[in-house]
Amino acid sequence: MLIWIETLLLLFLAGGLYTFKYNWKPKTPHFLLTEKLTVIGHRGAPVLAKENTLDSFKSAFDAGLIGIELDVQLSSDNKLVVFHDYFINHPEIPANKVNNIPYNTMITIRDNNIPLLSDVIQIIPEGSFINIEIKSNQIINTGIEKKVLTEIKTRGIENACIVSSFNPFVLRRIKKLAPHITTAFLWTAENTESVVNSPLWVWYCRPDGFHADIRHIDEKLIDWIRGKKLFALAYTVNSQKHLTRARDLLLDGIFTDDPYLNKE
């Protein structure tokens, strides 16, 4: 089984390399081109308010951050809901996977505390930006990429956003639909049994940036990322030790639960 998976991975990577090698030109968005480490609110500001809620995002901006990150999925009625986990635990809902629940049911069981992507975009201050992480473990096209891109265009934030995902198939579809949109591949050294859990997938999805787990970043990985001219961000940086590590590695930015972590 492992040999089959490795062979499949190599074929995908070879195809991606052949197709995109000569027209893959990563770009760093203007809001990361600063001399200081850019601090982004991970799901808003979870140390101040419940994550992935409007209160959390407002708290992050009120604390002085210029960027926020959130997770987006499709509800059963094709709404772009801001929610991290794939499941909503509730005894009255047997089919508790987010994709199987209509949005009105979600907000009822969560006290109206699950916003839509459009709700969050509306509260972003001028001059700020948003990182939209698409949560999907599907290889096939579910349509979420097109809906996210439509929302981005409709709201006029094409130059103030990053679309990221652990799923290289999602990012490749984003790039094919909208090559000008900034994308980033997410990676961690955990879940090593997953066939898509390799930095090498960047050759397939040709992102502009690389978002790595701070616990698994080293100089060799950063050199590899920089060699491909990708911008580099780290998650989730919640301690002074990890903050120092990010600075020492000269990263472009970090995601944090604490908007005051970087205050001197």
Q: Where are the domains of the chain?
A: 2-256
- pLDDT at res. 18: 55
- pLDDT at res. 135: 96
DSSP label of 85: S
Query: Helices 168-177 & 144-155, crossing angle to 10 degrees?
Result: 50
Distance, CA of 104 to chain centre = 25
- pLDDT at res. 190: 85
- pLDDT at res. 91: 74
Sequence-separated (6 or more) residues with CB below 8 Å from residue 163: 131, 132, 133, 134, 148, 152, 171, 174, 181, 182, 183, 184
| 42 contacts 236 by C-beta, under 8 angstroms | yes
- pLDDT at res. 110: 78
Report CA-CA distances (Å) from 258 to 84, 215, 251, 263. Answer: 18, 17, 18, 10
Condensed to tens digits (0 to 9), the pLDDT of residues 172-182 reads 999 999 999 99
How many C-beta neighbours within 10 Å does residue 87 have?
Answer: 14
- The CATH classification of domain 2-256, taken from the options 2.60.120.330, 3.20.20.190, 2.40.420.20, 3.30.300.20: 3.20.20.190
Spatial distance between the Cα atoms of 129 and 220, rounded to a whole number of angstroms: 29
135's tokens: 């949560």
pLDDT in tens, the chain (264 residues): 555 655 666 666 665 555 545 689 999 999 999 989 999 999 999 999 999 999 999 999 999 999 999 999 999 999 999 999 999 877 777 668 999 999 999 988 877 789 999 999 999 999 999 999 999 988 888 899 999 999 999 999 999 999 999 999 999 999 999 999 999 999 999 865 566 679 999 999 999 999 999 999 999 999 999 999 999 999 999 999 999 999 999 999 999 999 999 775
Q: Is 230 helix (H, G, I), strand (E, B) or coil?
A: coil
Spatial distance between the Cα atoms of 201 and 9, rounded to a whole number of angstroms: 9
| 66 contacts 57 by C-beta, under 8 angstroms | no
| 207 contacts 26 by C-beta, under 8 angstroms | yes
- pLDDT at res. 138: 87
